[in-house]
Amino acid sequence: MIDLSLLPSGIIFGLSLGGIFFLTTVGLSLCFGLMRVISLDQMLYYALGGYMTYTISVLTGNLWFGLVVGVVVGAVAGLAVERVVFLRIYARDITFSMITSFGVLIGGVGVIKYFWGLVPRPVTEPITVQVNLLGTYIPVYRLIIIAIALGVYGGIWLFLNRTIVGKAIRAGIENVEHVEGLGINVYRLFSITFMIAGGLSALAGGLNAPLIMVDPQMGLEVMAFAFMIVIIGGLGSIKGTLVSSFLVGQVVSLGSLFYAPLAQMAPFAIMVLILLLKPTGLYGSPLLKR
């Protein structure tokens, strides 16, 4: 039987983990929705964000400044990869983009190993204060992660629905040809999307750095969960990515309280069940069904 006193902390842990998952995968979902590419290189920006946060926090003692630097580096790296690599393969088959982006990821991991070595590096948690919730002490830092994830979702929603560029991206997700027919430079939209995606993936890595030790393989370690989340939520759906991220986070967290192996097994079982009931995912559009 589960100890009920652990339930509040398990739920908060799951929500914070879901927040990290959302920030890591929302870029993957955006890139597929707009450009029909599977951008596995987002896992590289996740690792870069973690390492930049580690490096700057060691030099300055300020993790928040390290987060900002990590987001900028992730956004610039995403733009560079889009301009150098993806710009040349947009017309190719989707599996080609997946294989190419995986190659970028593996090459990037090699670069990380060259500069930072193979040894995992600890990152100091910026806030060690805990609050009492239903008799259980909850780290404030995890609550901040949840708030940031929800804030990012709200910011993305406002950007996509209240700005000209965002509306163009949202229209492009539905039909790129129609947007191009209106005289809008879709390749500029692609670049903006990659910058946003890279920055958010780096933010996820930086926020998660104090909860884990940064490691060259950290991007590869979350890749399976990233695939599950975008598939469960529906490819190209930002709302679906948010819901499925928190769902998987709770399954991993609460599953480990009931029976440790469930933390790894249950998300896959849920993914299969959802795909059997709704092949396009929870919020997938029929237009994205292949």
Residue 89 DSSP SS3: coil
Q: Give the distance, in angstroms, between the CA of residue 44 and the centroid of all CA atoms in the same chain.
A: 11
CA–CA separation, 246 and 53 (whole Å): 24
Model pTM score: 0.92
Spatial CA neighbour of 42 closest among 11, 75, 69, 89: 75
Closest C-alpha to 21, from 289, 277, 278, 221: 221
Q: What angle do CA 87, 93, 98 make, to 5 degrees?
A: 75
Q: Is 210 exposed, middle or buried (0-12, 13-18, 19+ CB in 10 A)?
A: buried
Spell out the domain ranges in the chain.
4-288
Determine whether domain 4-288 maps to CATH 1.10.3470.
yes
Across 224-240, average pLDDT: 87
Question: What tens digit of pLDDT does each residue of 197-207 get?
Answer: 999 999 999 99
**Chain segment 51-107, per-residue pLDDT in tens:** 999 999 999 999 999 999 999 999 999 999 999 999 888 878 888 889 999 999 999
